[in-house]
């Protein structure tokens, strides 16, 4: 029995290949994700272990506002310079140094543009001389206040050399320095972990990076002879009385690395999400392949039953086949995944400015995940066909029984039930009734909806396919092709359903993002009454900013009526982390953003007063006159009195603080500027003047309102493209499914095709017949996908109405593209099966048993 199964499996290896390919792709994503995160994780460990290699103990202040990696760079409060002497006094402490190191030193390259970095920080520091890690490559360390050195990676990226005058943006606006040296690191490296570094003299670093003299970011020490880092840490901690964070270098490296790994796990989840989509589509494909194979083996399986095989043995033989396919596909998928993981890690390393990669590793999770997922999916998908195989009566071995068309009632009822469950789950998730499980509920709802619709597809397919087919029915081959596609509704349906999933996801996501985009622009158009806007693309996690002096100079330009600079910071407001804004001119709230007061006065703001949005006031139970403690990124906590409340629908900032507060923001410079002109003033006349003022703020530019709105929404376009590319994979798998189904159908109809050829159907006509069948199936799938995707997208958009997504935009152009694409997919998918059908040997086919 085992041998019979394996031999028949080998005989069908080509047919199983395509369905196996779907599993390979899904497994590749799963194992690739694990390999990538493992490799990068270990690389981060190595980077930080290295970065803190010459630090045994580190003393820093406790941060004022705790931020997660996703919310931006945490601003640690500085420590007083006197701390250096206190640490020096601790017995066993050697080589004690006051260190300035903060993100946000942005060098202006030789092309006049700010050197950008996505991910690794752009550190501004004080020059501490060479050491075990840092090695000067050229020149010398900075001695005068207008001298700097940079690391080799930054020198290369900025294309600057020793002796050049270079501009640097810090907490202060652009300042010019002379580059007096370039340094690298032990082992000939240009950077540690891709970070760009600018080193100043200590007083300059203190002023520019920390905002005041005589403070350091942290103090480091090495353990002297006879003591260990741990012992020294405890010693220092005791001496300082618990007011500071005292850690060993190793602890510091671990926590820094852990922070980045958290970001990686998010990336991991995205990859696993796409793996899930690929596998869902793959499941349809495997189900179909095995169903067709079982149908084609009816006679063989009936024979087995006639000569004594039990139903269970028949199930076993089909499942065994699935196990073999799953095993091979998982192994190939794992190998491909290791390749993909390595490639992505390499690209990530490049993108992150030359992160030195740790050796490629294959974690156990990748292997377990690959085989677990691959095997389970294949076997589960094959189970249904296996059960059907067991129901083949032995008498089928003796008769040429045309398998009767089984009624679709059961499938349809099942489909309706599953679709309803999906709809209910979606409703629960989207209406926010699912509590903590909202995301899981929504995803479950989408999954159920897909499976339910897939089950309903056979019923839908009859009328729709015959309607679609009518388009091609003008020629004999067209007519035959149309009849063929309607002949086995289940097979057509599952093949189309696989395509549906991919297209529905792309359509749904597009509906949501297009709607969001349109809502954002119409909101901006409705609310922002500024003719010119100063803003910029960020160079890394921190938003672009510009010199506050530009605001005053702009206000002096003739024809300018009102200028407002917007500041922002993540702060702790009344014990809760909240985004706070500050406007350089509070009057702008009403005049530019159209804010309406619901209580108090929002036209004025004293240095100890704050404004709240009506939502914030309501949820925190605050009213005019309430006092609220606020801790900003820098400085001490202060108490503000609520002096006014504005409508949330007009202005979405939860909290507005007076301009004076901005000095204690992590970025004490404006990040956006809004310019309102006098009526009748030409925008074109003012814009170049503002542009000139921004010469020293290369991160930002001035745009008119329409261009600004376009900039704001352009990110959604990138996002849509990225998602479409990733989901295209699901569509590719579905195409494999169409090819597979057609190939199997051609094989099954060898005799019939031979007969048609014998009575005079030409080769080209045969190929046209197969092509029509493929096109009908794929257009049907795309049509379903567009409809289901639009439904899902519209449901999500409706649910987000309260979040500000008020417009529902249906991407009609996109949908038409999908249908055209589907027709092309059909033609492409039909190529191989059609050639095969056309090549059928007429005589052999008629004799074929």
Partner 1 sequence: MTATVGRQAQAAARANDVWKVYGSGEAQVIALRGVSAEFERGRFTAIMGPSGSGKSTLMHCLAGLDSVTRGTVTIGETTVTGLNDSGLTKLRRDKVGFIFQQFNLLPTLTAHENIVLPLSIAGRKPDPAWYDTVIDTVGLRDRLGHRPAQLSGGQQQRVACARALVARPEVIFADEPTGNLDSRSGAEVLTFLRDSVREHGQTIVMVTHDPTAAAYADRVVFLADGQIVSELIEPTAETVLDTMKKLDTPVEVGN
Which stretches of the chain bind partner 1, using CB under 8 A? 1, 3-4, 7-8, 10-11, 299-300, 303-311, 313, 393-395, 397-398, 849
CB of 299 to partner 1, least distance (A): 7
Residue in this structure with the two tokens 């609220």, named with its chain if needed: 628
> How many C-beta atoms lie closer than 10 Å to residue 200's C-beta?
27
Cβ nearer to partner 1, comparing 236 with 392 = 392
Strand partners, 532: 675, 704
The SS3 of residue 258 is helix
DSSP 8-state symbol, 116? P
Nearest distance from C-beta of residue 8 to partner 1, angstroms: 5
CB of 312 to partner 1, least distance (A): 9
- CB of 280: closest distance to partner 1 in angstroms? 32
Q: Tokens in use for 784? A: 């379903």
Supply the minimum distance, in Å, between the C-beta of residue 318 and partner 1: 15
Residue by residue, DSSP assigns 77-110 as PPEETHHHHHHHTSTTEEEEEEE-EEE--EEB-T
CB atoms within 10 A of CB 689: 16
Closest alpha carbon to 629 in 618, 641, 614: 641
Cα gap 157→350, rounded to integer Å: 13
- In whole angstroms, the minimum distance from the beta carbon of 391 to partner 1 comes to 10
Query: Rounded to whole angstroms, how far apart are CA atoms 290 and 294?
Result: 6
- Residue 829, burial from CB neighbour count under 10 angstroms (0-12, 13-18, 19+): buried
**Residue 651 or 840 having the CB closest to partner 1:** 840
What minimum distance in Å lies between the beta carbon of 289 and partner 1? 18
Distance CA 414, CA 300 (A): 30
Name the β-bridge partners of 533. Answer: 674, 703
Closest distance of CB 332 from partner 1, Å:
24
Question: Based on CB atoms, which residue is closest to partner 1, 279 or 315?
Answer: 315
- Which of 259, 394 has the CB closer to partner 1? 394
CB of 17 to partner 1, least distance (A): 17
Which residue in the block uniquely carries the two structure tokens 């004999």? Answer: 476
Q: How far is the CB of 382 from partner 1 (least distance, A)?
A: 19
- The 10 Å Cβ neighbour count of residue 280 is 23
Q: Which is nearer to partner 1, 313 or 689 (CB)?
A: 313
Q: Closer to partner 1 at the Cβ: 154 or 309?
A: 309
Token pair recorded at residue 695? 């010469």
Closer residue to partner 1 (CB): 123 or 397 = 397
Nearest-angstrom CA–CA distance, 198 and 214:
19
Asked whether the beta carbons of 534 and 694 are under 8 A apart, the reply is yes
Q: Are 551 and 670 in contact (CB under 8 A)?
A: yes
Exposure letters 725-760 (e unless 16+ CB within 10 A, then b): ebbebbbbbbbbbbbbbbbbbbbbbbebbbebbeee
Q: Considering beta carbons, is residue 6 or 272 the nearer one to partner 1?
A: 6
Residue 4 or 470 with smaller CB distance to partner 1:
4
DSSP state string for 168-229: EESSSS-EEEEEEEEEEEGGGBS-STT-EEEEE-HHHHIIIIISSSSEESEEEEEE-TT--H
Q: Which is nearer to partner 1, 447 or 846 (CB)?
A: 846
Euclidean distance between CA atoms 671 and 535, whole angstroms:
7
- Token duo for residue 554: 């702009």
Q: Which is nearer to partner 1, 312 or 839 (CB)?
A: 312
Contact in structure between 609 and 642 (CB atoms under 8 Å): yes
**Is the Cβ of residue 10 or residue 549 nearer to partner 1 in the bound state?**
10
CB 740 → partner 1: shortest distance, Å? 21
**Shortest distance in whole angstroms from residue 395 CB to partner 1:** 4
Check residue 437 and report its DSSP letter.
Answer: G
Residue 304 CB, nearest approach to partner 1 (Å) = 7
- Closest to partner 1 by CB, 99 vs 309, is 309
């Amino acid at each position: 029995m085992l041998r019979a199964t394996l031999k028949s499996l080998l005989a069908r290896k080509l047919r199983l290949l395509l369905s196996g390919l779907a599993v390979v792709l899904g497994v590749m994503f799963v194992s690739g994700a694990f390999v990538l995160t493992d490799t990068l994780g270990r690389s981060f460990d190595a980077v930080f272990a290295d970065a803190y290699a010459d630090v045994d103990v580190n003393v820093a202040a406790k941060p004022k506002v705790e931020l997660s990696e996703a919310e931006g760079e945490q601003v640690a409060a500085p420590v007083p310079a006197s701390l250096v002497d206190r640490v020096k006094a601790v017995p066993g402490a050697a080589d004690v140094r006051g260190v300035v190191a903060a993100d946000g030193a942005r060098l202006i390259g030789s092309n006049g543009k700010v050197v950008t970095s996505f991910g690794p920080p752009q550190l501004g520091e004080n020059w501490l001389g060479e050491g075990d890690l840092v090695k000067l490559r050229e020149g010398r360390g900075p001695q005068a206040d207008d001298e700097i050195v940079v690391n080799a990676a930054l020198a290369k990226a900025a294309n600057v050399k020793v002796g050049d005058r270079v501009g640097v943006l810090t907490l202060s606006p652009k300042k010019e320095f002379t580059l007096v040296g370039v340094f690298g690191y032990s082992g000939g490296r240009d950077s540690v972990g891709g970070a760009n570094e600018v080193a100043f003299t200590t007083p300059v670093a203190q002023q520019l990076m920390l905002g005041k003299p005589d403070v350091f970011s942290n103090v480091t020490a090495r353990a002297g002879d006879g003591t260990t880092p741990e012992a020294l840490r405890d010693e220092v901690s005791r001496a300082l009385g618990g007011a500071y964070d005292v850690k060993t270098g190793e602890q510091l490296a671990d926590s820094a690395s852990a922070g980045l790994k958290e970001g990686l796990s998010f990336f991991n989840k995205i990859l696993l999400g796409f793996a899930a989509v690929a596998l869902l589509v793959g499941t349809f494909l495997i189900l179909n392949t095995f169903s067709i194979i079982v149908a084609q083996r009816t006679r063989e399986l009936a024979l087995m039953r006639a000569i004594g095989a039990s139903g269970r043995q028949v199930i076993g033989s089909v499942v065994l086949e699935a196990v073999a396919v799953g095993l091979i596909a998982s192994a190939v998928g794992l190998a491909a995944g290791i390749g993909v993981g390595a490639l992505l890690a390499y690209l990530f390393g490049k993108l992150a400015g030359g992160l030195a990669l740790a050796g490629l590793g294959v974690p156990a999770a990748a292997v377990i995940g690959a085989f677990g997922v691959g095997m389970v999916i294949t076997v589960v998908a094959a189970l249904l066909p296996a059960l059907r195989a067991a129901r083949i009566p032995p008498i089928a071995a003796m008769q040429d029984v045309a398998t009767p068309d089984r009624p679709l009632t059961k499938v349809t009822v099942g489909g309706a039930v599953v679709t309803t469950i999906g709809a209910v789950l979606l409703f629960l998730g989207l209406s926010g009734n699912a509590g903590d499980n909202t995301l899981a509920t929504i995803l479950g709802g989408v999954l159920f909806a897909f499976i339910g619709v897939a089950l309903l597809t056979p019923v839908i397919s009859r009328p729709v396919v015959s309607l679609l087919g009518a388009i091609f029915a003008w020629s004999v081959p067209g007519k035959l092709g149309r009849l063929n596609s309607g002949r086995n509704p289940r097979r057509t349906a599952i093949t189309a359903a696989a395509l549906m999933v991919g297209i529905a996801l792309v359509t749904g996501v597009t509906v949501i993002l297009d709607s969001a985009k349109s809502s954002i622009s119409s909101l901006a158009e409705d609310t922002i009454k500024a003719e010119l806007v100063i803003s910029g693309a960020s160079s890394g996690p921190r938003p672009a900013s510009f010199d506050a002096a530009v605001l005053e100079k702009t206000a002096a330009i003739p024809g300018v009526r009102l200028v407002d600079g917007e500041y922002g910071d993540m702060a702790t407001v009344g014990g809760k982390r909240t985004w706070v804004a500050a406007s350089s001119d509070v009057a702008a709230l009403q005049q530019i953003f159209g804010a309406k007061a619901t209580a108090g006065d929002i036209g004025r703001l004293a240095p100890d007063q704050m404004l709240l949005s009506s939502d914030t006031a309501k949820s925190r139970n605050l009213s005019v006159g309430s006092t609220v403690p606020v801790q900003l990124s820098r400085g001490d906590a202060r108490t503000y009195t609520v002096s006014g409340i504005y409508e949330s629908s007009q202005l979405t900032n939860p909290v507005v603080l007076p301009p004076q507060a901005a000095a204690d923001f992590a970025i004490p410079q404006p990040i956006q500027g809004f310019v309102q002109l006098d009526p009748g003033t030409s925008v074109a006349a003012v814009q170049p003047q503002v542009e000139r003022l921004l010469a020293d703020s290369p991160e930002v530019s001035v745009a008119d309102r329409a261009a600004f709105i376009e900039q704001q929404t352009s990110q959604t376009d990138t996002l849509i493209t990225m998602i479409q590319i990733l989901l295209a994979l699901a569509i590719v798998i579905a195409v494999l499914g169409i090819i597979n189904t057609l190939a199997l159908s051609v094989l099954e109809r060898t005799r019939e095709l031979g007969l048609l050829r014998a009575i005079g159907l030409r080769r080209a006509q045969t190929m046209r017949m197969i092509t029509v069948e493929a096109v009908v199936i794929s257009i049907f799938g795309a049509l379903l996908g567009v409809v289901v995707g639009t439904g899902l997208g519209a449901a999500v958009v409706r649910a987000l109405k309260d979040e500000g997504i008020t417009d529902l935009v249906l991407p009609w152009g996109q949908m038409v593209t999908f249908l055209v694409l589907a027709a092309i997919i059909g033609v492409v998918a039909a190529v191989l099966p059609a050639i095969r059908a056309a090549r059928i040997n007429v005589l052999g086919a008629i004799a074929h048993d």
